[in-house]
Every structure is written in C-alpha cells, then in structure tokens.
Amino acid sequence: MKNIGIVGATGSIGVQATEIIHKYPDAFNVKFLSCHNNINELLSQISILKPEYAVVTGEKAVSGGVTDTKILYGMNALTTLISEISGELDLVLSSAVGFAGIMPTYTALKNGVNVALANKESIVAAGKTMIQTAEKTNTSIMPVDSEHSAIYQCLKGHGNNFIDKVVLTASGGPFRYRPSDSMDYVDIGETLKHPNWNMGNKITVDSATMMNKGLELIEAHYLFDISPDKLDVFIHPQSIFHSIVSFIDGSNLAQIGLPDMKAPISYALGFPDRLNWGAERLTPQILNGLTFFKPDKKKYPCFAIALDVLKEGKNSLMITMNAANEVAVDTFLRGLIKFTDIHRVIGNTLELFESRDISSIDEIISLDNVVREKAKKISQNIGR
C-alpha cells in the first residue's frame, strides 16, 4: 500500500486523482489533502478518503467539529507537514495551480519523497534546482502532464544519447482553426470551451494561447535533459498522440490514447503497475483521419515568447514569463484585459528583467513576487 499526499486536491487533477484512489482502497492510504479555498470539495474528499491531515492554504476555514481529520492552515503548515511526515510518505502528487506548487514540490523532494508532478511551473521556474535536489536525495519525479507522461513511457529502456527528436503534441485549443486576424474579438466564454480536455480555467486559457505548450517544452528540457533543438511541437487536434520520440536509427515511439487525464494520473499513481480505472478503449478506427500541423506563431504569440525564453536558457526569464503569464491570465479572466493583451503583458514584463541563472529557492520566490507586482501594473495600464 502506498502512503500518499495530494497538494491541490480540489483542482481538476486532484479531483480525478481522488476518484482513482477511491477505486483502489487496498492500494492507497491518503495521509493528507490540501486545497486553497474550495472547502466544500475538500470536505467531500475527506469524508471519502479519511486522511489524517488536511491543509487549507487560503483564507477560508473549516467549521470546527465537522471531521476527525486534523485541519491545518497556511502554506508554511503544508510544507512543515510534508517535512514532518516525509518518512511515512511514498508519494506526493503535486497538482496545485501555478507557482503555488513550487514550495510543496521542493519540500517533498528535499525530504526524499517521490513526486508525481502535475505542477509544471515548479520545473519552469526552478527546473535545475528541482532536478539536482531529486538526484541528491535519490527521489524520482514522475510527470503527470499527458505529454511528459508519454515521453517518460516512450523513453523507458532508452538513453538520451539515442534521441533524435521529441515531438510534443498540442490540441491548439479552442481557436486552432480561427483566423489569426480575428483573435482580438474572442471572449472569456469562448476561451474556456476547450474542445478536448476538461481542465481548470488557468490551464484552459494557457491552452488557448499555447503558452501551456511553451511551458511544457521548458519542462521537457529539464525533466529529460533534452536540448531545445531536439524539441518540437505539432498541433494535433484529435489529441490521440500525446508525444512522439524519434530515435537515431529512424524508429519512432508514440504513446497514444483517448484524451483523458486519468490515464497519465493513474500511471503516475500506480507506477510500476498500471491501474484498470475504467478507461474508454482506443480502437484502430479512431486513428483514421488524424491530422498534424505546425503552430502559427502569429496566432500564438505567447508560444513564440516561450520559445525565445527556452532558447535563451536562463531561468530568471522563465520565472518572469511564468509569473507575468499568471498575472495576465488572472486579469483576463476577471474581464479587465483582452485575450490578445495576455502576450503584451508578458512581453512588456520580460523587458524589465535581466537574463541570469538563479538556483536559490528563496531568490526564485523573491523574483516571482517582484515580477508579479510589475506585471499587475502593466496589466492595469493596458486594461485602461
């Protein structure tokens, strides 16, 4: 039986993970759950999974006496808990949204706990530090993003020296067929209608801008130690091929399956076993008529920015881009800027910061805070 903790349990990934865990009561024991402010969903999960601890990192509180689970509050309480019970944990699923996942992820790795990583921002902002920490403590990082789970599976038994190219696929989001000169007129409702995946609002916007794919390229670079020139992206509207690895002998391996995040989640939770969680089966007929095409950088300027940042290779720019993107997406979702202003906020913010490498977690967090303040001001000016 695996002892597991879930960071971000009430988000899209966390909810799906808890559904899988509930199907396998003899395989998993949940030590803790955490959420930001979704108390109702947290209490529902507590009633089903009965963890020893639950942590609320936001400002809301759980009414006293409603559960036997010990309730803790604040990010410091969460990281302290992970440290204190690290000897009892086999796995931490890191599925908090955005930069908020960086400290729980780092704390788990630092204390020798394997991480199932659904929080790509941890690697984008602190990839080298996370990888070095995992190596130092002999812990593993199991990717949960569908593309990185696919790469991980394709690379089993193969060294990096045999890789010729790694292709990550992208759905293209809701605007993949929309003319680039009409993007000024898209609204929030259209943006959140993802054609393939059921995800949270932030990642759905990132999919629409294709910033998500830029973040994933950076994540793949660090997770698998692949140089940027060996990474590529194709839009694949059907989302059946999740990634393709080409080898130097001309062979190609691809991980394919119907678009359902429970597949990579279950793989990370169950590894090295596979869990029969009730997936819809892929039939050969579904493979008829699959399409692939290169993304239009004019339509997806956020993606173009991320490519430039990846090529520059300095994580100060990665931290800046990620923080500015989170601010811009939040501002867009609140109706204060246009969809096409998102890349303007990111680009204008990047111009304010120098290119350098940062390894200290404290310095990474400090830079993130500074960037957010600058990006908020830029967002306010653009939105006027």
Residue set of the binding site: 10-13, 38, 119-121, 145-147, 171, 194, 200, 207, 212-213, 216
SS3 (DSSP) at 64: coil
Known binding-site residues for Mn(2+) equal 145, 147, 216
C-alpha separations of 254 from 57, 196, 218, 241, 267 in Å: 39, 19, 20, 7, 16
* Cα–Cα dist 182/198, whole Å: 25
* Cα–Cα dist 302/173, whole Å: 13
What is the distance of C-alpha 267 from the center of its chain? 16
Residue 217 corresponds to which tokens in the numbers above?
């390229």
Q: Is the dihedral of CA 180, 182, 188, 189 positive or negative?
A: negative
Residue (of 143, 307, 171, 162) closest to 246 by Cα position: 162
Known binding-site residues for 1-deoxy-D-xylulose 5-phosphate equal 120, 146-147, 171, 194, 207, 212-213, 216
Contact call for residues 216 and 152 (beta carbons, < 8 A): no
**Longest CA pairwise span in the chain (Å):** 63
* Cα–Cα dist 367/349, whole Å: 12
Please provide the distance, in angstroms rounded to a whole number, between the alpha carbons at the two ends of the chain: 55
Known binding-site residues for NADPH equal 10-13, 38, 119, 121, 200
C-alpha separations of 352 from 321, 356, 367 in Å: 11, 13, 12
Q: CB-based burial of residue 270 (10 Å sphere; 0-12 exposed, 13-18 middle, 19+ buried)?
A: middle
CB neighbourhood size of 245 (10 A): 24
Residues near 106 by Cβ (< 8 Å), separated by ≥ 6? Answer: 122, 126, 129, 130, 133, 361
Residues comprising the chain, all counted: 384
Residue 202 corresponds to which tokens in the numbers above?
């932030």
* Cα–Cα dist 297/68, whole Å: 52
Residues near 318 by Cβ (< 8 Å), separated by ≥ 6? Answer: 124, 125, 127, 218, 309, 310
CB neighbourhood size of 251 (10 A): 11
Residue 376 corresponds to which tokens in the numbers above?
């908020």
